Chain A
């Protein structure tokens, strides 16, 4: 079995011992990658548990600490940070009813109710167990799909890539939560920002307004930190925070037999729903928990229990969330096309490490590729092992007032931004993007599509120009190739369908179930 051999390679990468010089002790062989995964999960949870800080903000904030690491270690750590942040977000949703991001909105519904009934421990426990199960399945799905998809991707030319990314953006718009036209406007804004800087072919400056620091283009980390990290701080400062921290005891962490029996099927269904939606080129992972919640509600014998602390309403969506979070790595790892803003951050991190995401990663850096996949499974295991015993610490952390939390976030983020190029101008530009991001949020725009558009914009223009070059400049070259044409056709059909009122109603219903 190829798959087993590959997973074996992955495990050997993750478990690889590295001789490290430890002060006072001397040279000690340490499993560096496992340690990095552990640290990643831990700090990811630590930041992710802070109210109002979602996974995107967490990853941007912690991105700089991975700069000094070797690529494999850095990506394993980032993946750990991502899962940690997700889990931290669920913890906050259950305990304080402040969902850090769209996906934990669903968890907060029944999870927080359970916490109010003194069953917070069970809710946290089942969400950890469900996530672990979903993580195991999703790891296998990734391992199974990686080879065939990569083979397919190797046949792709620039035209196909361009069309694939167009399709990805269309899916991202259609699956987005909220206004279609505003999501699209944000994507176009992101695409436009990606064109700022020196044109690669002619060397002419575009949209720099004669401002020298812009001639290299906008740094990805600066943009992400500005519109996610800092803008979130500004937004949270404006809200009168009501932390609904439960005063009831957490209760037992391990779910009882009856709880397990009740949540077994929701976990299974959630995993399947989440895994499938996560693979979609748009932001399917966000839809997973919502879809799972409305599925469970419809299947339940007594739907009125939902919203009043039904354990299925935690188990299903949490599994779907984790499965989707993981399978959304598939488009990134095999095709090199990020399906959502978190994966766009991963693209940024990979580029900083000198790795160009795409099908060649698997052939050129098999240890990195498979190491990352196995580290996902290990990361899930670690979350289960470290987070449940440490729940008391997370609860204590939730009591830190925001007036002390945000200066800490700002200090760490500013040092991080400065460390990328040792350039104070980057820090100033981050503040500028923060103001812009804050204004966009206040105007009802979601910043996530902007980041996705920004990352895809560079890839798209590049591929489009190459495609045009190959077809001697004719735009027909993009449409003539069958695969490319098919992808564009799918994009068009999906877009038209999304604008049709009947389908929109269906989409809104899935989200509305959670309201």
Chain B
């Protein structure tokens, strides 16, 4: 509800509810992509349902809602959309696309245990985060306005966790996640965050590994230690 404040708009604009218009387009996009990807599935009949019947039925419905939302957006006033709300997902989508393209050029074979496109993606993502860190050190106000800061660092932290948890253990993955994602807050303080990252990691290792006895490595140094 807090996302739907209506601002008065001049009557001559064609799209009077940009939020619903974009929402509708996205639903239609989902339906089209889904439709294309299920083209090899047998739809069957109502007498013998194929695996493709239900997904395709749902996609028609989704497309219907999409048309409805976009259509009503032309006649009803609604909230506007801000690019900063979607800048992060667009940036990440662009990185994924670039990584897939580069990965297909690199040929088969894993790089550091990752598929080629995943490796390229990680490198690009790291570069993006470094760029944002440089901006934040320079106290750029653009960074906070762009809407990139929150999602990029949170997702970056989670990715770092996923990359290290199995090969290095929780004692590496936990602080990495806390430190990287901690940079997402506009009022972050480095010293405080370091102490906090260590404390949270100790607490969670104690809780998950020792109290709840979940099987996951606490610290791995290949060939030396496996806790």
Contact = CB atoms under 8 A, between A and B. Distances in A.
Interface of A: 64-65, 67-68, 177-178, 181-182, 184-185, 188-189, 191-192, 195, 199, 201-202, 204, 206-207, 209, 230, 233-234, 237-238, 401-404, 406-408, 410-412, 414-416, 418-419, 422, 424-425, 427-428, 430-431, 434-436, 438-439, 441-445, 461, 464-465, 468, 472-475
Nearest to B173: A414
Given A185-B62, A237-B150, A407-B200, 17 more contacts: A67-B212, A185-B23, A188-B65, A204-B41, A234-B154, A238-B85, A404-B192, A407-B177, A408-B196, A411-B201, A412-B204, A415-B170, A418-B162, A422-B215, A434-B158, A435-B151, A442-B3
Interface stretch (B7-15, B48-56, B134-142): B48-56
A414 B158 contact: yes
B1 A209 contact: no
A188 B214 contact: no
A238 B154 CA distance: 12
Contacts of B208: 64-65, 415-416, 419
B199 to A, nearest CB: 9
A414 B3 contact: no
A390 to B, nearest CB: 20
A428 B58 contact: no
A424 B162 contact: yes
Contacts, number: 208
B99 interface: no
B219 interface: no
Interface in B35-56: 37-38, 41-42, 45-52, 54-55
B55 A207 contact: yes
Contact of B154 (A189, A192, A230, A472): A230
B133 to A, nearest CB: 16
Those 4 A-B pairs whose CB atoms lie nearest each other, nearest first: A473-B47, A403-B185, A237-B150, A199-B51
A286 B205 CA distance: 37
Interface string B170-202: 100110011001101101110011001100110
B127 interface: no
A407 B196 contact: yes
Give chain A's interface secondary structure class. Answer: helix
Given A68-B214, A189-B62, A468 B49 contact: yes
A419 B217 CA distance: 11
Q: Which of A182, A188, A202 has the most CB of B within 10 A?
A: A188
A461 B54 contact: yes
Contacts of B155: 431, 434-435
Interface string B16-39: 000110110011001000100110
Contact of B166 (A182, A408, A415, A424): A424
A444 B4 contact: yes
Nearest to A177: B1
B151 A438 contact: yes
A425 B162 contact: yes
Contact of B3 (A195, A410, A430, A444): A444
Contacts of B106: none
A195 B181 contact: no
22 contacts: A64-B214, A68-B214, A181-B65, A182-B23, A188-B65, A189-B62, A192-B58, A204-B51, A206-B38, A404-B182, A404-B196, A406-B181, A407-B177, A410-B154, A411-B201, A427-B165, A428-B162, A431-B162, A438-B151, A441-B3, A444-B23, A468-B46
B204 A207 contact: no
B92 interface: yes
Contacts of A430: 158
Nearest to A419: B214
Contacts of B104: none
A241 to B, nearest CB: 10
A206 B42 CA distance: 11
Nearest to A65: B212
Contacts of A68: 212-214
B89 interface: yes
Contact of A444 (B20, B86, B157, B158): B20
